[in-house]
């Protein structure tokens, strides 16, 4: 009985609150094997295809490059990107990228030469003899990032996990409608995926390894079970199909019963999660010595004549992939990058495929239904019932519309995974996720501005403190100089005092006249006579001036004579 209970406990799965069951629409693309796409004539490789800063360029315009050659340097959290094929770098300039508004980002533009030549590849078949640090550095330098949608650098994630990871979870749920990239990858490359999982396990040394996969992928489940037949260290857990069971927090709870704390990470509870595609990319980087230059992309929708999954080179224009699949656009054709719930409509089709591109959906005019007009919220609470994160979407909606950022933060809007379940069930057709994305962006901008202001204040206060310290030091030096004069100053003062004393001694010394001699006063007498002569000369000059004035003015003389006679 105890063994039965232990086995039950070991294979137990939990269920999260909320969730929805939209039409899956996966059979359009998961029935055909993976295929290669002819090389495009031009590739656009954005320098930033991951969470974090872009790397430092290491190529220039005119350089010849080979497939797998680094285009940027990966230092710290900066993840390098690599040439998807051989050719010539024709430009390094901003180019529209995979973004709802087609933001321009710095990109390397390569014209393919058609030869598709690889760089020399050095695979590590004996990876178990390598250290943990060597493997993590190789994974990072080969550009591996999370291919499940987040794009977080895998090497940084593994380094951050450290020795505290007890459970390694491989996310094979792929719960969003239409997307079958991971499903087809597991069907065609199950052995390589498992080998990548073993490399991750060798790095992390977890206590248990769990693969979580939804029960709507029977072929992939069969292939994995066949590969894992003789393995007892990896457990395959088949879970019920419900959206969004592929969310990181949701799948963690389903498989372990543990909840990630608010504002925390799965590593805080000893769990690290990686995507199926990421595990495959790790295998190719470590064992095959191949940087990530391509990924599996689902091409689906009724506007595509040959739907399926393809190996798409990073940097390939979306238009090239769609045309190869028989794209038949209508007058108002939309193309969605990602799924119908979490994806976004592309403003134009010349944007490139990047590391986080998992699906291109080209629906017909009636496939997704006519867009409905947004109406007022009726507070029916259907969105709250569907929310897998246990939030209150209707309250967050009002806070977002009213720019009440503090209340939105208090109601944990940061925990929203933007799955779109609330918008799917809303009877008023309110695009709730759009409001939440905008609100989170505004809150992030406010926090960034507050951070900059705090840093500026800290710099100002540090400068003021430094100036005060320098002022106090100067005053102290002046005070010390006044109290304790320097040695050379003491010598100068002593010399001056000596001179004063000598003069005083000379002034007070009595004049001694020898007997029979008369004092020599000739100098004093000469000076006195000179002063008298100078006074007489000045008096004579003044008298001459007065006489000249009298002669020069006869009228004045006549007036004076008349006055005298009277």
**pLDDT given at position 508:** 61
As a whole number of angstroms, the distance between CA 543 and CA 538 comes to 9
Return the pLDDT at 504. 73
Domain final position from 440, 462, 484: 484
pLDDT value at residue 501: 76
Q: Is residue 391 part of a domain?
A: yes
For residue 130, give the 3-state DSSP assignment: coil
> Each residue of 2-34: b (16+ CB within 10 Å) or e?
eeeeeeeeeeeeeebebbbebebbbebbbeeee
Arithmetic mean of pLDDT, 43-48: 94
User: Interhelix angle for 276-286 vs 132-141, to 10°?
Assistant: 100
Same domain, 435 and 305: no
| Structural domain that includes position 388 | 372-484
Q: Identify the domain boundary among 440, 458, 484.
A: 484
pTM over 0.85: no
In this prediction, residue 368 carries a pLDDT of 84
Are 269 and 207 contacting, i.e. CB atoms less than 8 angstroms apart?
Answer: no
Specify whether 411 is located in the same domain as 280.
no
DSSP letter for each residue of 138-154: HHHHTT-B-TTTT--BH
Q: 429 and 324: one domain?
A: no
User: Tens digits of per-residue pLDDT, 49-105?
Assistant: 888 778 889 999 999 999 999 999 988 778 999 999 999 999 999 998 887 777 889
The two three-digit tokens of residue 66, written as one number = 């080979």
Note whether 400 and 432 are same-domain residues: yes
Question: Is residue 275 domain-shared with residue 420, that is, in the same domain?
Answer: no
Q: Measured between alpha carbons, how far apart are the two ends of the chain, in Å?
A: 164
Contact between residue 272 and residue 157 where contact means Cβ atoms under 8 Å apart:
yes
Tell me, yes or no, whether 443 and 469 share the same domain: yes
Together in a domain, 34 and 125:
yes
> Which whole number is the average pLDDT over 466-488?
79
- Residue 376 has φ and ψ, to the nearest 5°, of -75, 150
Compute the half-sphere exposure of residue 395: CA atoms within 13 Å on the CB side of its CA.
Answer: 14
State which H helix or E strand residue 452 sits in: helix 432-483
Q: Are residues 355 and 381 in the same domain?
A: no
Cα separation of 168 and 170, whole Å? 7
The C-alpha atoms of residue 174 and residue 148 are separated, in whole angstroms, by 9
Per-residue burial over 168-180, b = 16 or more CB atoms within 10 Å of its CB, e = otherwise: bbbbbbbbbbbbb
**In a 10 Å sphere around its CB, with 0-12 CB exposed, 13-18 middle and 19+ buried, how is residue 63 labelled?**
middle
Judge whether residue 366 has pLDDT over 70.
Answer: yes
- Residue-wise DSSP of 368-416: S-PPPPP-------HHHHH-TT---HHHHHHHHHTT-HHHHHHTTGGG-
CATH number of the domain residue 233 falls in: 3.40.50.11540
548 has pLDDT over 70: no
Q: How many residues are listed for the chain in this entry? A: 566
CA 259 to chain centre: 27
292 and 209, same structural domain? yes
> Which pairing describes strands 35-36 and 56-57: parallel, antiparallel, or unpaired?
unpaired
Q: Are residues 307 and 437 in the same domain?
A: no
Domain boundary among 299, 331, 361: 361
Q: What is the dihedral of CA 477, 480, 484, 490, to 10 degrees?
A: 30
Same structural domain, 69 and 193? yes
Query: Is residue 190 domain-shared with residue 339, that is, in the same domain?
Result: yes
pLDDT of residue 487: 58
Q: For residue 477, is pLDDT > 90? A: no
Q: What is the CATH number of the domain that holds 453?
A: 1.10.1060
Q: Provide the 8-state DSSP code for 490.
A: H
- Would residue 533 count as lying in a domain? no
User: Is 401 inside any structural domain?
Assistant: yes
* Average pLDDT across the chain, whole number: 88
Q: How many domains does the chain have?
A: 2
* Calpha distance 192→213 (Å, rounded): 17
């Amino acid at each position: 009985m105890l063994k039965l209970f232990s086995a039950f406990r070991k294979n137990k799965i939990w269920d999260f609150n909320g969730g929805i069951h939209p039409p899956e629409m996966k059979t359009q693309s998961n029935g055909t094997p993976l295929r290669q796409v002819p090389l495009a004539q031009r590739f656009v490789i954005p320098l930033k295809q991951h969470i974090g800063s872009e790397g430092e360029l290491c190529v220039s315009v005119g350089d010849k490059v080979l497939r797998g050659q680094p285009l940027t340097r990966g230092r710290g959290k900066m993840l390098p990107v690599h040439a998807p094929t051989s050719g010539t770098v024709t430009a390094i300039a901003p180019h529209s990228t995979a973004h709802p508004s087609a933001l321009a980002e710095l990109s390397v533009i390569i014209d393919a030469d058609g030869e598709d030549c690889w760089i020399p590849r050095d695979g590590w078949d004996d990876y178990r003899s390598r250290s943990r640090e060597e493997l993590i550095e190789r994974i990072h330098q080969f550009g591996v990032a999370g291919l499940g949608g987040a794009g977080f650098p895998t090497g940084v994630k593994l380094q951050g996990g450290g020795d505290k990871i007890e459970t390694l979870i491989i996310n094979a749920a792929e719960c969003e409608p239409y997307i079958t990239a991971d499903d087809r990858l597991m069907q065609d490359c199950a052995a390589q995926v498992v080998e990548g999982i073993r490399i991750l396990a060798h790095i992390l040394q977890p206590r248990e390894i769990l693969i979580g996969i939804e029960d709507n992928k029977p072929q992939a489940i069969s292939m994995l079970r066949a590969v894992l037949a003789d393995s007892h260290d990896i457990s395959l857990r088949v879970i019920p199909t419900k959206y969004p069971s592929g969310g990181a927090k949701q799948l963690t709870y389903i498989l372990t019963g543990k909840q990630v704390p608010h504002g925390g990470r799965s590593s805080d509870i000893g769990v690290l999660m990686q995507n199926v595609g990421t595990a495959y990319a790790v295998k190719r980087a470590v064992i095959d010595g191949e940087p990530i230059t391509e990924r599996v992309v689902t091409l689906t929708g009724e506007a595509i004549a040959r739907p399926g999954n393809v190996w798409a080179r990073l940097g390939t224009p979306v238009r090239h992939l769609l045309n190869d699949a028989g794209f038949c656009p209508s007058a108002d054709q939309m193309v969605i990058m990602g799924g119908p719930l979490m994806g976004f409509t592309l403003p134009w089709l010349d944007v490139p495929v990047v590391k986080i591109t998992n699906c291109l959906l080209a629906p017909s005019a009636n496939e997704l239904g006519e867009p409905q007009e947004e109406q007022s919220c009726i507070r029916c609470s259907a969105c709250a019932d569907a929310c897998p994160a246990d939030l209150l979407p209707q309250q967050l909606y009002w806070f977002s519309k009213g720019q009440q950022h503090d209340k939105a933060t208090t109601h944990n809007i940061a925990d929203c995974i933007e799955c779109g379940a609330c918008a799917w069930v809303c009877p008023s057709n309110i695009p709730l996720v759009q409001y939440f994305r905008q609100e989170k962006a505004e809150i992030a901008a406010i926090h960034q501005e507050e951070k900059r202001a705090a840093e500026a204040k800290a710099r100002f206060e540090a400068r003021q403190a430094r100036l005060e310290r320098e002022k106090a030091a100067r005053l102290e030096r002046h005070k010390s100089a006044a109290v304790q004069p320097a040695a050379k100053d003491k010598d100068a003062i002593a010399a001056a005092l000596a001179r004063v004393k000598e003069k005083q001694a000379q002034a007070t010394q009595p004049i001694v006249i020898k007997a029979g001699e008369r004092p020599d006063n000739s100098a004093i007498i000469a000076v006195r006579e000179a002063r008298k002569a100078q006074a007489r000369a000045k008096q004579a000059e003044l008298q001459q001036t007065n006489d000249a004035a009298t002669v020069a003015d006869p009228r004045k003389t006549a007036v004076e004579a008349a006055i005298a006679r009277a």
